[in-house]
């Protein structure tokens, strides 16, 4: 029974008309989710800028409000006031639709992210499949933006985006299947409830694959080839400014927030935790995941495009398949009350496999004869 269902029951008991019983709670939920998400995204932008500047032995924005907390708002105002420039040779319509196509699916993901016990907009029984399906739509938006800009840099970026997304979706999905095998359901709520032991301990290899894969899906360093500022300047959003650019910018952080939420839900036992209220636990865990993402961004150089795909197909895909088979066997053989033995076995396997693969596999090709 989610909060939304309870709300509907209350309205029904007040003898509201049927359509209102269905519509009002949904609208209220959507408004709450969107406002929470946008607020958290703004906090995230501030948090990333402050944190990354600490990694880079500098202070970061600290003038605008206490500890610079209002800096993202100032940035947002600046971006909104900027002139909206559309290149003359751009495909105007697609250039206009693309930011929306990128931004809207990211908001849609939050419909199935459980913020607390029952605090979920739609408890779909295929929740995680829905996430995978919806998040792939953003790729089309990115490609639309890249193509419609009529810029060669963004064109390269669009080509990279397709290669990257197609490659990384497969290991990500395979690592999710491992979880579904243990839980026996695709529902986000059920997945959280099943985690007496967080799945990061139960499936360390699956976590690693999902985490790296989602880094690639959200175009974060070291997989940020789409917007590689040192190579193709800003990639697909090179020809965007003003509000349209803000959509990409918010979308970028929104997707980071969404994936941090999904990682928390799938692997870090979601809202569960002692003492503090569930929502706080959820946000703390999300913040931790996001901080690790920022840490990686400030530390690692970028992959090359062939190394990126090689990493997906030669490293992550085989490991994901092995992980899946392993989990399937364990689910069959090991009884549910002996999950701690599973933890030990899986950690051992993860260590051995990663060691083995790091010796066996080479990153990408080298020079091409032309």
Partner 1 sequence: MPIKTESFYLNVGPQHPSTHGVFRLRLSLDGEVVTDVEPIVGYLHRGIEKLAETRTYTQIIPLTDRLDYLASMTDNVAYCVAVEKLAGIKVPERAEYIRIIFSELMRISSHMMAVGFYLNDCGAFFTPVLYMWREREKIIDLFDMVCGQRLLYNYMRVGGVSQDLPDEFMPALKKFVDEMPRYIGEYNQLIKQNEIFLARSKGVGILPRETAINIGASGPVLRASGVKWDLRKMDPYSLYDRFDFDICTGEVGDCYDRYWVRMQEMTQSLRIIEQAMKQMPDKGPVCADVPQFFRPPAGEAYGYIEAPKGNLGFYIVSDGSIAPYRLHIFPPTLINITALRDMVIGWKVADLIIIFGSMDVVLGEIDR
Cβ distance 89 to 237 under 8 Å?
no
CA-CA distance, 92 to 118, in Å (whole number)? Answer: 43
CB of 229 to partner 1, least distance (A): 6
CA angle centred on 254, ends 206 and 138, rounded to 5°: 80
CA-CA distance, 197 to 336, in Å (whole number)? Answer: 12
CB of 358 to partner 1, least distance (A): 8
Enumerate binding residues for partner 1 (CB under 8 A): 52, 55-58, 152-153, 156, 159-160, 221-222, 224-225, 228-233, 297-307, 363-364, 366-370
User: Looking at beta carbons only, is 59 or 80 nearer to partner 1?
Assistant: 59
User: Looking at beta carbons only, is 139 or 225 nearer to partner 1?
Assistant: 225
User: Looking at beta carbons only, is 242 or 364 nearer to partner 1?
Assistant: 364
CB of 217 to partner 1, least distance (A): 18
CB of 367 to partner 1, least distance (A): 4
Cα separation of the two ends of the chain: 63
Three-state DSSP at 116 gives strand
Q: In whole angstroms, how far apart are CA 58 and each of 61, 63, 70?
A: 10, 14, 19
CB of 80 to partner 1, least distance (A): 25
User: Looking at beta carbons only, is 14 or 367 nearer to partner 1?
Assistant: 367
Provide φ and ψ at 283, rounded to 5°.
Answer: -65, -35
CA-CA distance, 62 to 49, in Å (whole number)? Answer: 10
User: Looking at beta carbons only, is 121 or 146 nearer to partner 1?
Assistant: 146
User: Looking at beta carbons only, is 26 or 52 nearer to partner 1?
Assistant: 52
CB of 75 to partner 1, least distance (A): 18
CB of 132 to partner 1, least distance (A): 27
β-bridge mates for residue 119, sequence order: 116
Contacts of 170 (CB under 8 A, 6+ apart): 312, 317, 320
CB of 325 to partner 1, least distance (A): 27
User: Looking at beta carbons only, is 1 or 370 nearer to partner 1?
Assistant: 370
CA 170 and chain centroid, separation:
15
273: how many CB neighbours lie within 10 A of its CB? 15
Cβ distance 119 to 281 under 8 Å?
no
CA-CA distance, 100 to 96, in Å (whole number)? Answer: 8
User: Looking at beta carbons only, is 17 or 301 nearer to partner 1?
Assistant: 301
Long-range contacts of 65-71 (CB under 8 A, 24+ apart): 69/43, 71/46
User: Looking at beta carbons only, is 111 or 310 nearer to partner 1?
Assistant: 310
Give the closest residue to 121 by CA, choosing from 108, 134, 112, 131: 112
CA-CA distance, 3 to 124, in Å (whole number)? Answer: 14
CB of 334 to partner 1, least distance (A): 34
């Amino acid at each position: 029974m989610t909060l939304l269902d309870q709300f509907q029951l209350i309205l029904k008991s007040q003898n509201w008309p049927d359509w209102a019983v269905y519509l009002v709670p949904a609208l209220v939920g959507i408004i709450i989710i969107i406002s929470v998400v946008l607020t958290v995204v703004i906090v995230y932008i501030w948090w990333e800028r402050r944190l990354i500047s600490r990694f880079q032995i500098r202070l970061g924005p600290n003038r605008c409000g206490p500890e610079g907390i209002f800096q993202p708002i100032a940035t947002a105002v600046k971006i909104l006031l900027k002139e909206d420039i559309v290149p003359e040779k751009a495909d105007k319509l697609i250039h206009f639709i693309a930011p929306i196509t990128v931004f809207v699916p990211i908001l849609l993901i939050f419909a199935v992210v459980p913020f607390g016990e029952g605090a979920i907009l739609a408890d779909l029984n295929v929740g995680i499949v829905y996430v995978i399906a919806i998040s792939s739509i953003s790729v089309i938006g990115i490609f639309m933006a890249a193509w419609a800009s009529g810029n060669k840099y963004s064109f390269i970026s669009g080509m990279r985006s397709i290669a990257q997304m197609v490659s990384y979706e497969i290991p990500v999905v395979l690592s999710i299947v491992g979880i579904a095998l243990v839980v026996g359901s695709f529902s986000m709520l059920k997945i959280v409830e099943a985690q007496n032991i967080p799945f990061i301990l139960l499936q360390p290899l699956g976590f690693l694959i999902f985490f790296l894969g989602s880094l690639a899906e959200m175009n974060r360093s070291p997989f940020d080839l789409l917007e590689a500022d040192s190579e193709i300047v800003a990639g697909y959003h090179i020809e965007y400014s003003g509000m349209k650019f803000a959509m990409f910018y918010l979308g970028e952080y929104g997707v980071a927030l969404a994936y941090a939420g999904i990682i928390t839900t799938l692997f870090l036992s979601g809202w569960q935790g002692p003492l503090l209220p569930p929502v706080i636990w959820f946000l703390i865990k999300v913040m931790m995941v996001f901080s690790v993402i920022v840490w990686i961004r400030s530390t690692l150089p970028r992959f090359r495009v062939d190394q990126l795909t090689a990493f997906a197909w030669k490293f992550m895909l085989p490991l994901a398949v092995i992980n899946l088979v392993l989990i399937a066997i364990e689910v069959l053989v090991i009884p549910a009350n002996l999950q701690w033995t599973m933890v030990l076995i899986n950690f051992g396997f993860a260590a051995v496999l990663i060691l083995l693969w790091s010796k066996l596999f080479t990153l990408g090709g080298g020079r091409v004869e032309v």
